[in-house]
Amino acid sequence: MSTVVDERLRRLRRELDDHSRIADRLGLDLERPLRSLNDGYPENAVALVGKLTEKLLKELWRHHDVEGDPATKALNDLVKRCRPYIRSSTVLDALDDIRRLRNRSTHDGYDISDEDGLLAVRRLVDVLVWFTDTGSAALLGGEPDLAPEVARRCEFLAGLHVTLGYRQAKRFVLSPDTVYLLFCRESGIRLEYVELMLSRDADDLGAVLASRGGELLRTRLPKLTRFVVVDDDGRSGGSGALHQLLGTDFRIVRYDGFVDTVVSLDIHLSGLTGNTVEEVADGTTPQPRLAVAATALTTDPRTGEQTVTESGDAAGLLTRLARGSANILVTGRPGSGKSTLLCALATDPGIRRFRFYFDLGLKPKDEPFSEYAARLLAPAMAPSDRSRAYDLFLYLIRSGTALCVLDAVDEGVEEPSAAGFLRLFTDLAAVLSAESAVVMSSRVSFLADSPQVRQLLDNGAGRSEQLVEQMYANGIEPSRVPHFHVVRLTEPEATPLERRLTTRLGLPLGQPLADILGAHITRTLAEAGRPDLERRLPAALGRPFLADRTVFSLLDLHRVLGADAFTGGRLDPAACVLAPLLRPAGPDHVAFVHTAYQELLAARYLSDPANLDAAADIPGGAFLTEQVRAFLAGLSGDAGDTRDDCVLPAGAYVVGPAERLLIRRVERPVRFDRRAVTVARYRRFLDALDADGTSRWDHPDQPAHVTHRPWTDRLRHRDYYENPRYDDHPAICVNWWSAYAFAAFEGKRLPTALEWEAAARGADGRLFPWGDAPDTSRVNCADAWVGHPVVTYQAWYRDFAGDAVRRAGATPSDERPGNRSPFGVRDMVGNCWEWTSTSLDDPAEAVICGGSYDNPMRAVQTSTKGLYRKRGGSNAVGFRCVQDVDPVDGPATTPAAGTSATEGTTTA
């Protein structure tokens, strides 16, 4: 073994000696890994470090009364289950390194070097340092001569300083209520010291110091900071002796104010006032907050039992939850008051002494949360501590002493998809612990992991199965996600934002949000004498939103709006003509006071077909939110409903589910069948089949033994294809190969999934073919059969899967004329799923669209898709055909003999 390794072993041995108290208490032989390294067996050293770490974690498990028996758990499980109870990010990183090295050695078959063995021991030392230097009772067993509350405070203050890079140099228990602590750290070529005398009672501390003649105060160490930490300020009667002994060398601070000497929360929260996002948007004098009703789902962290409660005062409900150890997700539509409520929590010292607020809507999408938080906290800390800002923040949150408010989580994602939310949640996972109190707000819930949660959320947001799959794909065990209380703000007749703006603008209540915001923009520019600017805003500030840009420098605004957009030519936020609509977003940067303003401008930009087409070429795809789509649908109105030729024009369309909207092009015009293929039409195809049930129109890859005759064993009504009463019903129990052959028989083809969705949604991306409002009278779905909304799986199983499912089934394709797309295509959602020509990863499966009679209303939207095996046949799956259209001359393909170009379009 080299001299360098020998020296490192000696140094590690000396450091391990500092933790003899833990070793003696738990019966650990800390020398064994070093002996293995010295003998040339680094793999044994790594394995021994793994065993020692297991013993430490099992003791931690028992100390915190974690549910279950740790005796049977291996290292990986122990780390996972103990992680929420560990406050130090250094310890968490060390445990991950030990686990990785042990797995490499034991399971992965890698060669283990001396360097690996030394690293394992070093990381074990890092774990031990934390618990020794903080005096943690978890591994040390506590201090029998110290009052429990004082011991808890000592551990907290010691952990605070260890997080800032200090080591505990001295610790003396002077009395059950009084402790002396000394910390030091290296700073360049010098040492920095912090000296603390902690006591619950100033008089007790004075008596202790007097009895020792002030000996503790006469040290020769160069103290940079000296503190006396007490419950009171030492100025009450009888504390004169303490002041005489301390002189002017010590600062006397209250225990609950000591963190202010490290990080100034006043500076951090200085940007938050009583005028929060929803309140400043109208530019008026602050008004008393309106009570907002809410529904809450609370979860017992021990039993998992869930309770749904209603409250007429969301602020009071949140306050009660935040004062406990609770993680809370607040959801609600734009302007519902989420930011107002969260800002109120962050500025209320009655909630928690230490509070942090981060607006993720202002976080650059490519910036990790750790860097964003550190950047915002750095100005509130001393220069020497700024490099540890994020570690300090994590320590305070994970120790349960602080409240963390994360506003607009849904605006902090790289992409608005289940995977995007999961990546953000993974980035935020370090903030969550067994003791954390984290309050998040989101317009889209990414924690919809139970039917009860889905009951609280908007119809399009409950996609828990997809979330669980994404968690598994990203290596996250769903059962390990910390419990969240979910608070959904009830949708009133008008949101707080809408009420304030309508009052300010003199508008009647009940106006659409787009009209209210538009009126505010118009009024703001008119009052600034620049009404002409409004027509430039969609391109100047709406298009950037589609490129995921919500923060602008003053130079940006000067460039896109012109110098005359600033009064007197001053490049100052207050001088900008849009000032009432903007808020600070960093030095010389601004953002809209509410995201909905920029979303409206983005929708206005997209309402021009040329701009919608251009947006399809934005690198990485356009950033679209559900609110942009809703505004776009409102701007378009019913203009497209007069079209009746069933032709989908070439062009760009908004497609995809609410959490991942996209803009995609249809390259050529396509004429759709007006209705799904009926039994009567399919019967003519049956008459043209060969004796074996195949045809000359079959797909070249069609498997052997496939027949185009319906799967009669699955038909609910065996005479479905013989009885004339079903002639106008959709052709069902038909596999994909048969649908393909039938389309070719008529000189047509199956639509792609993109064509199908674009034809159903129209240019404005509507949720249903007729618009955005659910209407069970227009669609054959489970809700229509049971007579009321079906929201959860339990409700579907209880109300539909019994008697209703026996009554339900496909109905004639022309029975609901209100189920009509902007291009005149009928019955595209509900009734029956429809085959498309699109396959994804598995060529044996194809995409089906639209939902069916046994799906709830929330699952029969224009974006609804599924996968079905091509050989499958179901009473709930049918199809329709399309023809490619020459833009000038009409249908580009010739129908087969015996059919017409309009059959299935204008007459069938």
Reading the block at residue 652, the tokens are: 């760009």
Residue that the structure tokens 């119809």 belong to: 459
Spatial separation of the C-alpha atoms in residues 108 and 228, rounded to whole Å: 53
To 10 degrees, what angle do helices 389-398 and 369-377 make? 100
**pLDDT of the residue at 211:** 74
What's the pLDDT tens digit per position in 375-424?
A: 999 999 989 899 999 999 999 998 888 999 999 888 887 776 656 766 77
Query: Can you read off the two tokens belonging to residue 548?
Result: 């995921």
d(CA 622, CA 616): 7
DSSP assignment of 419-477, as one string? HHHHHHHHHHGGG--SS-EEEEEESS-S---SHHHHHHS-GGG--HHHHHHHHHHTT--
Residue 14's Cβ-count burial label (10 Å; 0-12, 13-18, 19+) is exposed
pLDDT tens, residue by residue, 473-513: 444 444 445 567 788 887 667 777 888 888 888 888 888 89
Residue 763 near residue 776, CB atoms below 8 Å: no
Assign 361 a pLDDT band (cuts: 50, 70, 90): confident
Distance CA(477)–CA(426), nearest Å, equals: 12
Confidence of residue 559 (pLDDT cuts 50, 70, 90): very high
pLDDT at 722: 92
Measured distance CA(198)–CA(342) in Å, rounded: 34
Whole-structure pTM value:
0.74
What average pLDDT score do residues 273-278 get? 46
Q: Which of 126-130, 168-172, 898-902 has the lowest mean pLDDT?
A: 898-902
Mean predicted lDDT score pLDDT of the chain: 83
The residue to which tokens 């503790």 are assigned: 216
Nearest-angstrom CA–CA distance, 847 and 739: 13
pLDDT band at 290 (very low <50, low <70, confident <90, very high): low
CB–CB of 172/216 below 8 Å?
yes
Q: Which of 605, 651, 644, 656 is nearest to 628 (CA)?
A: 605
Torsion 783-784-786-787 (CA) sign: positive
Query: 3-class DSSP state for residue 671?
Result: strand
pLDDT of residue 328: 86
Distance CA 779, CA 774 (A): 9
**How confident is residue 246, by pLDDT bands cut at 50, 70 and 90?**
low
**Mean pLDDT score, 167-172:** 89
Contact criterion met (CB below 8 Å) for 30 and 16: yes
Tens of pLDDT, residues 619-633: 888 988 888 999 998
d(CA 810, CA 837): 22
Output the pLDDT for position 768. 93
503 token code pair: 């009052």
Phi, psi of 845 (to 5 degrees): -120, 155
Beta bridge mates, 328: 439, 485
Least confident of 253-267, 446-460, 723-737: 446-460
Q: From residue 452, how far is each of 422, 470, 860, 861 by CA, in Å? A: 20, 20, 21, 22
Residues 171 and 133: their CA atoms lie apart, in Å, by 9
For the ranges 130-144, 406-420, 803-817, the lowest mean pLDDT is seen at: 406-420
Instruction: Identify the DSSP state of 166.
Output: -
Give me the torsion for CA of 522, 527, 529, 534, rounded to 10°. Answer: -10
Instruction: Please count the residues of the chain.
Output: 908
User: How confident is the model over 56-103, as pLDDT tens digits?
Assistant: 999 999 999 888 899 989 998 899 888 888 999 999 999 999 999 988
DSSP string, 255-273: GGGGGGGTB-HHHHTTT--
- Distance between CA atoms of 663 and 397, rounded to whole angstroms? 40
pLDDT at position 636: 74
Neighbours of 384 (CB within 10 A): 13
328 in helix, strand or coil? strand
Is pLDDT above 50 for 239? no
Query: CA separation (Å) from 641 to 636, 645, 770?
Result: 10, 11, 8
Tell me the pLDDT tens digit for each residue of 292-349. 888 887 766 555 566 777 888 888 888 888 887 678 888 887 788 888 899 989 988 8
Is pLDDT above 50 for 276? no
> What is the per-residue pLDDT across 178-220, written as a single tens digit (0 to 9) for each?
898 999 998 878 888 898 889 887 777 777 777 766 566 666 6
DSSP string, 688-737: T--TTS--TT--TTPPTT---S--TTT-SSTTTTT-GGGTTSBP-S--HH
Whole-number pLDDT of residue 632:
93
CB 737 within 8 A of CB 870: yes
CB contact at 8 A, 222 and 193: yes
- Better pLDDT: 187 or 708: 708
Number of Cβ within 10 Å of residue 693's Cβ equals: 13
Q: If 0-12 CB within 10 Å is exposed, 13-18 middle and 19+ buried, where does residue 453 land?
A: buried
Q: Torsions phi, psi of 444, nearest 5?
A: -125, 125
Average pLDDT of 129-137? 93
pLDDT digits (tens, 9 = 90+) for 714-754: 888 889 999 999 999 999 999 999 999 999 999 999 999 99
Q: What is the mean pLDDT of residues 631-643?
A: 70
When pLDDT is cut at 50, 70 and 90, the band that residue 790 belongs to is: confident
pLDDT digits (tens, 9 = 90+) for 753-784: 999 999 999 988 999 999 988 888 999 998 88
User: If pLDDT is split at 50, 70 and 90, which confidence band does 4 have?
Assistant: low
**Residue 804: what pLDDT?**
75
Are 594 and 335 in contact by the 8 Å Cβ rule? The answer is: yes
Question: By mean pLDDT, which of 51-65, 112-126, 155-169, 208-222 is the weakest?
Answer: 208-222
Tokens standing for residue 795 = 């409700």
What's the Rg (C-alpha) of the chain? 34
Count the alpha carbons within 13 Å of 618 in the hemisphere toward its beta carbon.
21
Rounded percentage of the chain residues whose pLDDT exceeds 90: 44
3-state secondary structure of 509: coil
β partners of residue 866: 848
Residue 807 tokens read as 């009554």
Contacts of 724 by beta carbon, 8 Å cutoff, 6+ apart: none
Between 859 and 668, the more confident residue is 668
Q: What is the pLDDT of residues 456-471, one digit of tens each?
A: 443 333 334 444 444 4
Strand order in the sheet with 877-878: 865-869, 845-849, 833-835, 877-878
Amino acid at the residue 53: T
Q: Are 420 and 413 in contact (CB under 8 A)?
A: yes
Residues facing 185 on adjacent strands: 192
The lowest-confidence range among 2-6, 43-47, 664-668 is 2-6
CA dihedral 20, 22, 25, 31 (to 10 degrees): -50
d(CA 251, CA 261): 10
Q: Are 225 and 194 in contact (CB under 8 A)?
A: yes
Residue 91 and residue 130: Cα distance in Å, rounded? 7
Residue 245 CB neighbours (<10 A): 19
| Cβ–Cβ < 8 Å for 584, 271 | yes
Of 365, 396, 390, 394, whose CA–CA distance to 376 is shortest?
390
With 0-12 CB in 10 A as exposed, 13-18 as middle and 19+ as buried, what is 349?
Answer: exposed
Residue 324 phi, psi (nearest 5): -90, -175
What domains are defined for the chain? Answer: 3-140 (1.20.120), 163-256 (no CATH), 266-489 (3.40.50), 512-636 (no CATH), 642-891 (3.90.1580.10)
